[in-house]
Homo-oligomer: A and B are copies of this chain.
Amino acid sequence: MIIQQREQGRRTLLSAIRRIGSVARIDLASETDISRATVTTITAELLRDGLIEEIPRDTADGDARRGRPRVDLKIRGAAHLIAGAKIGDSTLSLVLLDFEGVQLAELETDLAHQVWEADTLADCLLHNLQQLASKADITYDQISGVGVGIAGIVDAPSGVVYWSPSLKERNIEFCDILKKRLNIPAFLDNDANLVAVAEQSFGEGRDVSDFIVVTIESGVGMGIVIGGKLYRGTRGCGAEFGHTKVQLDGALCRCGQRGCLEAYVADYALLREASVIATDDRTTRTEERIKQLLDAARDGDETASNIINRAGRMFAMGLANLVNIFDPQLIILAGERMQADHLYAEGVLESIRSSIVQIDKSPPEIVIHKWGSLMWAKGAAAYALAGVAEIALLDMNEHAE
């Protein structure tokens, strides 16, 4: 019942160590404004519980300073194993990280279905997590927690999936199902949010407190980080960038509404228009058709250029609106597919800059960050990692001696 005040200090120090990477006690003290005495006390507890470890002095260092040498502390990777999963259209991506965030194993498999019963999907996930474990030479029950990213509308705090292209039913308490089936702590969120977590943990957002991540996959997703925290909206359906309207009574979107950004920039939107071009062969598969369209545009085909350009301008408009509303420090355009290249072209970025409210201060930075499909899974793992760290800290209150 007693509120452990010590908890505060432990949290501050553990996250400072994670943020800095490897740091001596005396620097921790100045960094966190906690006295050296208390830093010693608290880090001793964290060491005892195995959450951090001392780094053996680097003998061959040239720093030749007088006095007692600093002893660096870092997160102890072996403290916990964390898995992350991204449930995609047709593939399942998995990674295994240690408590330090180091990747120990990865796994990518084709999925049997695109749309699943919740229970079956949980079974599939369990099976592949076990595969992942054996690939990393550990047993499944050594995994302390798993993060799962799924497309759709997810209320992370309650673990409810209101809708997902991967699930047959709506309004599923999918996180509960996962926890029961997987038998370990599970953390579920929208996949775009997890990209934001990935960028915050491993990517471009490491030292930025307010940023926005935009992802382009089959749809357009967004994650918002405000004050160093993921902002999820109150019902779990915020950050629906792809369904912001860029044209009154505009093009028809998959969601049934008109004028959504997605209805101008997504694959299916481009192909809908491409179908009027004579050379477009509607029997080839999506990716190939997109490639042909882009090639045609690059080769100067007017109609193709027109299609691509409009997509770019719509995208720029939507993004400029985000800037005008949020005024973030940084915008990360993240993606794994080359298809998004035309949206990340310099002309588009310039168009964004010219559409935001102008003041005598440099505009937000826009960076393009390309990565493979595993980044989604790594974001999921990073999300779980935070959850597991939280559990570990709370545990320390219980068995304090």
Contact of A325 among B5, B235, B241, B255 (CB under 8 A): B241
Knowing A317-B259, A355-B257, say if A325 contacts B170 (CB, 8 Å).
no
Q: Is A246 an interface residue (CB 8 A)?
A: yes
CB proximity to B under 8 Å, residues A80-137: none
Copies of this chain, whole number = 2
State in angstroms the CA–CA spacing of A275 and B127 once bound together. Answer: 70
Name 26 A/B residue pairs within 8 A (Cβ), A-sorted: A3-B33, A5-B5, A162-B360, A222-B325, A226-B226, A226-B231, A234-B327, A234-B328, A235-B327, A235-B361, A235-B364, A236-B359, A237-B357, A238-B324, A239-B325, A240-B324, A240-B327, A244-B320, A245-B246, A245-B317, A245-B320, A246-B248, A247-B247, A257-B355, A259-B317, A325-B325
State in angstroms the CA–CA spacing of A162 and B360 once bound together. Answer: 7
State in angstroms the CA–CA spacing of A146 and B51 once bound together. Answer: 49
Q: Is A313 an interface residue (CB 8 A)?
A: yes
Q: How far is the CB of A1 from chain B (nearest CB, A)?
A: 10
- Flag A301-327 by CB within 8 Å of B: 1 or 0 each: 000000000000110010011101111
Q: Chain B residues near A241 (CB, 8 Å)?
A: 324-325
State in angstroms the CA–CA spacing of A248 and B244 once bound together. Answer: 14
Instruction: Give the residue among A162, A226, A232, A321 with the most B Cβ atoms within 10 A.
Output: A321
Q: Is A69 an interface residue (CB 8 A)?
A: no
Q: How far is the CB of A8 from chain B (nearest CB, A)?
A: 10
Q: Chain B residues near A224 (CB, 8 Å)?
A: 325
State in angstroms the CA–CA spacing of A246 and B247 once bound together. Answer: 7
Q: Is A139 an interface residue (CB 8 A)?
A: no
Q: Which residues of A contact B (CB under 8 A)?
A: 3, 5, 33, 153, 162-163, 170-171, 210, 222, 224, 226-227, 231-241, 243-248, 255, 257, 259, 313-314, 317, 320-322, 324-329, 354-355, 357-361, 364
The answer on a CB contact under 8 Å between B233 and A326 is yes
Closest 7 CB pairs of A and B: A233-B327, A238-B327, A162-B359, A244-B321, A240-B324, A234-B329, A240-B357
State in angstroms the CA–CA spacing of A317 and B246 once bound together. Answer: 8
The answer on a CB contact under 8 Å between A360 and B326 is no
